[in-house]
Amino acid sequence: MDPTPTAAARRAAAIARHLAALPSAVTALQSSPCLSYAPPESTEAPPAFAPTELRALLDGHHLRDRDWLFGLMEESPLFCPRRAGGKVFVSPDYNEGKEGQREATMRRIGYLTRRGVFRGWLTEAGPEAELRKLALVECLGVYDHSLTIKLGVHFFLWGSAVKFLGTKRHHDKWLLDTENYVMKGCFAMTELGHGSNVRGIETIATYDSKTREFVINTPCESAQKYWIGGAANNATHTVVFAQLHINGRNEGVHAFIAQIRDQDESVLPNIHIADCGHKIGLNGVDNGRIWFNNIRVPRENLLNLVADVLPDGQYVSTIDDPDQRFAAFLSPLTLGRVNIAVNAVYISKVGLAIAVRYALSRRAFSITADGPETLLLDYPSHQRRLVPLLAKACMMSSAGNFMKNMYVKRTPEMSKAIHVYSSALKATLTWQNMTTLQECREACGGQGLKTENRVGIFKAEFDVQSTFEGDNNVLLQQVSKALYAELLATQKKKRPFKGLGLEHLNGPCPIIPDSLTSGILRSSKFQMDLFCLREWDLLKQFAEEVSQYLAHGESREKALMLSYQIGEDLARAFTERTILQIFLEDEMNAPAGSLKDVLGLLRSMYVMVCIDESASFLRYGYLSRDNVATARKEVMTLCREVRPHALAIVSSFGIPDAFLSPLAFDWIEANARSSESE
């Protein structure tokens, strides 16, 4: 029913009273100022230590060469410079299609070749030359993973195979042209049916003594070479890993050089190549599949440092043991693993630099009713997300430098140790990189989803690190097997442990206090004792479990396989003890002062987080529930203590501003309407 006139009049009078009061209410309101960006450098206290000193420790070597290469990329339009928030940034255009990204990668390689970046990468020898090469590859990875992998396949896989498995005739013919990118190489080891199990590959190379040639054939579909970087579009030559058949006898896996394209990049007869297709990341690399239809290569194309075939078909080798010979053929993979591991740490640093800088300029919510909004990094929960990752990145930088120095100073006697360390650290550092990138992406909120802010796209680009050049789970199994073999050797020969940092096993088993205080938890002696105790006990348990399976009639290989759970815990314990031991040595070598103090905080943070995140300390009884809880509380205390140093730590990573992202700087201006035309 319609309201009565009397009711309508009453409503009109009430509205009039409200309207009469409105002007005074409006005049009382004031416009709220928009958010403004303040650079972290303007709000944070001055650094307690010189970031350049920490950078020298973390980068370890060739700082000027790194900065030179960063500058080369910044100054070239090939590296897609763009303006955002008043600054210039460089990064690939991931909106390009697969072919566009591949073509851009090749143009960049051409530019870097002309500027002399690769000079000496294969033709100069010695630790200094190799360390410089590794430093430059780390910088290239900061720009684009596809660029790094394309170069890694060419130089570290193809080039290293020719250099370290070949002899003078191969060096003279291919090394200089490889270094100058006149010819383009790839590395045909992985097959559709066999990846980690290289010993089981099915490609066959049969020696024809009449023509003095090897006949290479793909006998079945599972033998097709798969995921071969560079094969789909550009590679002119490849190192083919195949079973060598001579006079009806299989001599095992050997490496051969085969040409697959002519200089016009046309595929040669009796070779079929197909594209592996679009990937979740790394589309600037042309991964391909290769089939060989009885192609012939000269006898001289066998990479013959380890073994050779004489013209009459006689097989000769400098290594009698087939297992040792096989291990020698896999040696080119070691450098690849070293490079992958250290590159993973560098990418973690990029993600952390972006996320920490954002957290030092982005505010959210107020703790008090009328107070200012709080910086993200001042929230304890946000500190817990990012600060431990800073500690891990620094610790793992030291481990990466240790591994690089070991590799470039290698001797034949160090081959086993290099294999164990590179396997352990490649697995651990690449997994940690993915964990770091995921946390950094989430810590950047919706902005972390934008490709231009890099963190999100890095997740897809670097995901492959967990499986190529050795599946991480398989690599950890190889570590535990190697440690088991060391134990058996010491028992059989009745000698002490020597190497792999296992000397601590020669002494008494460490004793951990029943009750832990903050002072004890931060003691480097306690930390090493705890990590050594865990490794000592797990090695003993692993050996006992394997022995039990052997006693029940299982083969040694199956016994090791069935003991994989303790084996994985052992491999992780070995790796974490190694990382701690390496960093502690760097810390002890640092002069007394504020930097040394911060290194101690980072070390303690790493140990406390390992205790908090690993079930092994509780599972095997190394720490009580109360002590694990005490360590967990210590994590938050350390977060508060490291928090004032966060900006200085990420500044010490040495990543130029242009290689970070708009989110790390004035993210308000970068998203302003006026910036849309930039």
Q: What is the mean pLDDT of residues 34-52?
A: 93
Give the span between the Cα atoms of 282 and 119, in whole angstroms: 25
- pLDDT at 468 exceeding the cut of 90: no
Predicted pLDDT at 26: 46
pLDDT tens digits along 59-106: 999 999 999 999 999 999 999 999 988 899 999 999 899 999 999 999
For 256-287, how does the pLDDT look when each residue is reduced to its tens digit (9 = 90+)?
Answer: 999 999 988 899 999 999 999 999 999 999 99
Q: Residue 1's pLDDT is what?
A: 46
- Check residue 330 and give its pLDDT: 80
For residue 203, which of 224, 186, 184, 175 has the smallest C-alpha distance?
A: 224
Q: Are strands 295-298 and 213-217 parallel, antiparallel or unpaired?
A: antiparallel
Rounded-to-integer distance, Cα 41 and Cα 318, Å: 61
Given this model, what pLDDT does residue 27 score? 47
- Banded pLDDT at 510 (limits 50, 70, 90): very high
245: nearest Cα among 207, 212, 274, 216: 207
Q: How large is the average pLDDT for residues 193-201?
A: 91
pLDDT of residue 36: 86
Q: β-pairing, 307-309 with 315-317?
A: antiparallel
Taking the C-alpha atoms of residue 327 and residue 451, their distance in angstroms, rounded to an integer, is: 41
Q: What share of the chain is helix, strand, coil (3-state, %, to 5)?
A: 60, 10, 30
Residue 4 has pLDDT above 60, yes or no: no
Q: Write the pLDDT tens digit of every residue in 561-617.
A: 999 999 999 999 999 999 999 999 999 999 999 999 999 999 999 999 999 999 999
Task: Give tens-digit pLDDT for 406-417.
Answer: 999 988 888 889
Q: pLDDT-based confidence at 40, cuts 50/70/90? A: very high
Give per-residue pLDDT as tens, 352-364. 999 999 999 999 9
Q: What is the pLDDT of residue 573?
A: 98
The pLDDT-based confidence of 371 (bands split at 50, 70, 90) is: confident
What gap in Å lies between CA 119 and CA 69, rounded to an integer?
13
Sign of CA dihedral 139, 143, 145, 151: negative
Q: What percent of the chain has pLDDT over 70?
A: 95
Amino acid 6: pLDDT: 63
Q: What is the pLDDT of residue 227?
A: 95
At 15 the pLDDT is 57
DSSP conformation class of 261: B
Q: What is the largest CA-CA distance in the chain?
A: 121
Rounded to whole angstroms, how far apart are CA atoms 529 and 253?
Answer: 43
The more confidently predicted of residues 150 and 367 is 150
Please tell me what DSSP assigns to residue 171.
I
Q: What's residue 63's pLDDT?
A: 97
pLDDT of residue 540: 97
- Measure the CA–CA gap between 636 and 642, rounded to whole angstroms: 10
User: Residue 221 pLDDT > 70, yes or no?
Assistant: yes
Of 466, 483, 453, 457, whose CA–CA distance to 665 is shortest? 453
Q: CA-CA distance, 101 to 521, in Å (whole number)?
A: 50
Provide mean pLDDT across the span 240-244.
97
